[in-house]
Every structure is written in C-alpha cells, then in structure tokens.
Amino acid sequence: DGGITQSPKYLFRKEGQNVTLSCEQNLNHDAMYWYRQDPGQGLRLIYYSQIVNDFQKGDIAEGYSVSREKKESFPLTVTSAQKNPTAFYLCASLDPANNQPQHFGDGTRLSIL
C-alpha cells in the first residue's frame, strides 16, 4: 500500500543537539510538507516543497532546515537554534492536481531531555 512513513515515532534531544526527522513517501507525490503540532493546538506549517531540489519556508521556519534531494524523501532537521522543539511533527504529501487532499504520516514526537 502507498503511504507516508515517518521515523522514529519518538525522539529525544539533548540541549544544543541537532536532530533529523525522516519522512518517506511512495505515493509519487510532487509536494511534501512539514507541520508542527503543540498539545491541544492545530497545525503550523514549517516548510514545504513543491518539487525536488526546491522548498519554501512556512510560517514557523526559524530553527528548522530541510532538504529535498529525492522525490520520495523530505527530511526535517531541528537545529539547536530552535529553542522550544518539544512537539509532535507531522509530514504530509500531496498530488496538487484538482485540489486533492494532503496525505499524512503518523508523526514523530520530539522531546527534550
């Protein structure tokens, strides 16, 4: 079955450490997205990519970085510059033709040790 795989499901970070969250999709979608979700809150867009080797900042990009070297993969790095990284991170992908819905992975929960 096609879908989006996020790993790991749980991740712990020490102060001052960069961590990378993985997102892989086999849906052949051009567009991919990273969202942050805080407890009891909605989704906030971190970065998105419409095509390989291209990406744009979302609403809360500071302290995060991404790459899009392959269509299937869109890893997110949470850098030490992100002062409050504890959150639930969701990756999504989209076939933008005809306003189709985004497909989501199961998320990665990041916590600070």
Partner 1 sequence: GDSVTQMEGPVTLSEEAFLTINCTYTATGYPSLFWYVQYPGEGLQLLLKATKADDKGSNKGFEATYRKETTSFHLEKGSVQVSDSAVYFCALSQGGGFKTIFGAGTRLFVKA
List residues binding partner 1 (CB under 8 A).
4, 6, 31, 40-43, 48, 50, 90, 92, 94, 96-107, 109
CB of 72 to partner 1, least distance (A): 18
Cβ proximity to partner 1: between 13 and 109 the closer is 109
Beta bridge partners, 13, equal 112
Residue 58: enclosing H or E segment and its boundaries? none
Contact present, 89 and 36 (Cβ < 8 Å): yes
Report how far apart, in Å, the C-alpha atoms of 83 and of each of 11, 45, 68, 102 are. 16, 17, 24, 29
8 preceded by cis ω (within 30°)?
A: yes
Cβ proximity to partner 1: between 18 and 111 the closer is 111
CB of 56 to partner 1, least distance (A): 9
CB of 96 to partner 1, least distance (A): 4
Cβ proximity to partner 1: between 49 and 82 the closer is 49
